[in-house]
Structure formats: structure tokens, C-alpha cells
Amino acid sequence: MIRGALTRLNRALAQFMLDTHVDQNGLTETWTPVLVRDEAMYGTGQLPKFEEDSYRTTNGWWLIPTSEVPLTNTVAGKILEPGTLPVRLTAHTQCFRSEAGSAGKDTSGMLRQHQFEKVEMVSITTPEESRAELDRMTTCAEGILEALDLPYRTVVLCTGDMGFGAQRTHDIEVWLPGQNAYREISSCSVCGDFQARRMNARYRPAAEEKPAYVHTLNGSGLAIGRTLIAVIENYQEDDGSITIPDVLRPYLGGHSRIAPDGQFA
């Protein structure tokens, strides 16, 4: 739980991310539910493999682990007409993960939570363009960190570290001085037609041509709680105050600093 100025800083981060993705990166903001049915979780690969990592309600609905689930399922069962791709979506939602089997220091504190906020990016595109779309999505996520002037690095995951539905994954890791380490803040993946086949999501390359499966991509743009940690740790002064990054100040009434007592200075 956070209060006071940090709460407003958290909200400002979410709004800044959405505005950047919509106004500069050309994504369409979308409102999504946080409760979905079995078929939506199956379509994006959460079921059956990751059932233990998710929360299920007593009536059989699932709390979304990320808005990738409802965003990607917007094309489930559809045949998209020529000229409609790529579809690029973004959403800010609460996310829920049980983290079954997790252990260690990351299970306490703000870094790994059962309920957290994220701004998600999803792209639906053609097989020919999906690899370039992954690079574009990665650049969109990196741009948020660059605008916040936070140190980061981007790594390409080996096959053994990727999700079973991904063809290629780029992890973006932000520097956290408190841990003296880089930690993941975004993971951008191209899933090829894996999800499309599960959802029966297709497109028509040209009029009268036979439909083909789309390619889907997803990525964090970014995880808000981890971005908040990165801002606090990278911008904290010797007296305990926090300097607010320039790009966030318009969202915070022009305030430039949070005092050690948690209020705007």
C-alpha cells in the first residue's frame, strides 16, 4: 500500500505511459475487463499450463494475469479484412497472479505482488511483418524508460527461458540501485500463429484470397509498480527526498520533489 505523493506519482506513471503509447506510438487505448472465461485464457496460452499461477472465482471465471488476455482475444474467431492489419492496442489494468511455487526475497515487498498494475501492448499483424513488429514494440517500451531517464538494458532470451508459446522474446531490465542489479520491467514476445490457432484468428491477405492465421505479439509498456520502484531508487537524494522526472511533472501539478515525509515539497 502507498499513500500521499507516491500514490499520485504511481498514477502519473500510468497516465504518462498511456499518453506516450497513444499519442506517439500509435496504439489504440482499450478498456478491458479483468474477468475472463476459460476460452480466453486458453486462447493466449495461460491454460492449461499456467492454471496454478492464476486466480479463479467461485463461478469459474478467471482474474487476468495481464491484459494481454482480453486484448488478444478481441480478434478471436474473426477473419480480418485486407488493409486492417496491423492492429496495435494498449490498456492499463490491474493484473493478478498467484505466483505458485515462488520463493525467496522477491515474494515480499513491491517487486513481486499478487495484484499489480501494468500498461500492456498487443499487436496483431501478418506473418511477414511480425518480426519487425517485435522490434517496434521493444522500442516503444524502451522509449518510456528513456523518457524517464532510467538506466536499462535489453536482452534476447534463450529458448529455454522463453514462454512455451513465444518464438522470440526481448526482456528489458531496469537498473535498481537498492538491489545493485538489473531487474525485468518489460518482456516483449512474438508468438507467431500459436495463439491465433488456439483462438481461430485469421486475416484475408487480399480480396477473394484464402484466410491465413495472424501473428500475435505482446509486451509490457511498462509494469507500473516496478517503474515506481526504479524512479524512487534512481532519483532518491541523500536526504531521502525524491526528485520527480521532468516528463512526469505536468501530471503532478508542476511539483518537482517529494520530501522524506512522503509529501510534495
CATH number at residue 209: 3.30.930.10
Give the pLDDT of residue 49: 86
Say how many domains are in the chain.
Answer: 1
For 137, residues 6+ apart whose C-beta sits below 8 A from its C-beta are: 121, 123, 188, 217, 219, 221
Which of 110, 125, 264, 132 minimizes the C-alpha distance to 178? Answer: 110
Active site residue 187: yes
Catalytic-role residue among 54, 123, 130, 187? 187
Active site residue 249: no
Give the pLDDT of residue 213: 98
Query: Which is it for strands 55-56 and 62-63: parallel, antiparallel or unpaired?
Result: antiparallel
Domain membership of residue 37 as a residue range: 5-258
Is there a domain that residue 61 lies in? yes
Is there a domain that residue 203 lies in? yes
Query: Does residue 176 register a pLDDT over 90?
Result: yes
Query: Which is it for strands 115-125 and 215-223: parallel, antiparallel or unpaired?
Result: antiparallel
Mean pLDDT on 236-245: 97
Is there a domain that residue 263 lies in? no
Mean pLDDT on 225-254: 97
Catalytic-role residue among 112, 131, 204, 257? 112
Give me the numbers of helices (H) and strands (E) for the chain, helices first please: 6, 15
Is there a domain that residue 165 lies in? yes
Catalytic-role residue among 51, 129, 184, 233? 184
- Residue 110's pLDDT band (cuts 50, 70, 90): confident
Beta strand ranges found along 62-145 (DSSP E):
62-63, 79-80, 87-96, 115-125
CA–CA distances in Å: residue 223 to residues 8, 47, 66, 249: 16, 23, 10, 20
Is there a domain that residue 19 lies in? yes
Cα–chain center distance at 142: 12
- Number of residues written out for the chain: 265
Catalytic-role residue among 136, 168, 198, 226? 226
Is there a domain that residue 121 lies in? yes
163: cell is 514462454
- Residue 117's pLDDT band (cuts 50, 70, 90): very high
Is there a domain that residue 132 lies in? yes
Is there a domain that residue 116 lies in? yes
Mean pLDDT on 185-199: 98
Catalytic-role residue among 97, 168, 183, 198? 97
Active site residue 257: no
> In whole numbers, what is the pLDDT of the chain averaged over residues?
94
- Residue 108's pLDDT band (cuts 50, 70, 90): low
For residue range 121-168, list pLDDT tens digits in order.
Answer: 999 999 999 999 999 999 999 999 999 999 999 999 999 888 889 999
Give burial (CB, 10 Å; 0-12/13-18/19+) of 139: middle
For residue range 49-103, list pLDDT tens digits in order.
Answer: 889 899 999 999 999 999 999 999 999 999 999 999 999 999 999 999 987 545 5
With pLDDT > 70 as the criterion, what percentage of the chain qualifies? 96
Q: Which letter does DSSP use for residue 57 in this model?
A: -
Distance separating alpha carbons of residues 35 and 64, to the nearest angstrom:
6
